[in-house]
Amino acid sequence: MTQETMLALLLTLARVLPGPLHAQEMQQSYQVMKAFEGDSINITCSTSEDLEGIYLKQMWPQDSDVIYFEDGEEPTVDKRFSGRIEFSGSQNNLTITMRLLQLADTGIYRCMAVRKGTSYGSYTILVVTEKLSREAYRSQEPLRTSIFLLAALAVFSFLIGLVLGVLCTLRKTQIKELCASKDDSRCVVYEDMSYSQRKTPCTLNQYQ
């Protein structure tokens, strides 16, 4: 089963799972969590009621007690999580840290308070994905950087071309206006400097 299929299945379960029996008495952090293999996550179970102890149970894909914690007593930890569980706080506000996550840790977890009656928290859906996914993502960073640089260069070149085009258009317009303002007459008058009173007739300038 692929990770995408697993996530879709768990999200479907999240929609159909019943809520906590006594939500006001047992609070549980996070409804859906996604982590990479080898990472750590925290699940906090808290209540203001008096209780004897607290469980963190895995409800799916198998029903098991991950931990049992009671103030002043040695916590009990399932052998599957041995050496990978840490605790902080008291039984009324307990944070459970799950370290070195494995793919098999994917599942649904619920806090359960123990006293005269039993009450559950909501639930935490944990999806653990292969660490290779993160490494593959990182391996694509140089490619994404190259694509970004090429795109930036293309945009920069386009803007430069656009500016040059506008400047050329303005220059051509100025030249046309300048030419239009000049005298279009092709007649040039030459004066014989040896005779101050004599002028040559109007002739066409052969150089125009």
Q: Is residue 147 part of a domain?
A: no
Cross-strand pairs, 114 = 53, 118
Q: Is residue 177 part of a domain?
A: no
Measured CA angle at 38 (ends 124, 85), to 5 deg = 60
Q: Is residue 119 part of a domain?
A: yes
Q: Is residue 185 part of a domain?
A: no
Q: Is residue 179 part of a domain?
A: no
Mean pLDDT for each 10-residue chunk of the chain (208 residues)?
A: 55 51 64 91 90 91 92 94 95 94 93 76 83 62 68 74 79 72 50 50 51
Q: Helix/strand/coil (H, E, C) string of 55-106?
A: EEEEEECCCEEEEEECCCCCCEECHHHCCCEEEEEECCEEEEEECCCCHHHC
- The reported pLDDT for the residue numbered 10 is 55
- The reported pLDDT for the residue numbered 51 is 85
Radius of gyration of the chain from its Cα atoms, rounded to whole angstroms: 41
Nearest Cα residue to 191 out of 201, 204, 200 = 200
- Could you tell me which residues come within 8 angstroms of residue 65 by beta carbon, excluding any fewer than 6 positions away? 55, 56, 57, 58, 76, 78
Q: Count how many residues are written for the chain.
A: 208
Q: Is residue 116 part of a domain?
A: yes
Instruction: Residue 106: give the domain boundaries.
Output: 3-134
Q: Is residue 71 part of a domain?
A: yes
What pTM, to 2 d.p., does this model score? 0.56
Report the CATH number at residue 41: 2.60.40.10
Domain count, the chain: 1
> What DSSP designation does 202 have?
P
Q: Is residue 178 part of a domain?
A: no
* 109: exposed, middle or buried (Cβ count in 10 Å: 0-12, 13-18, 19+): buried
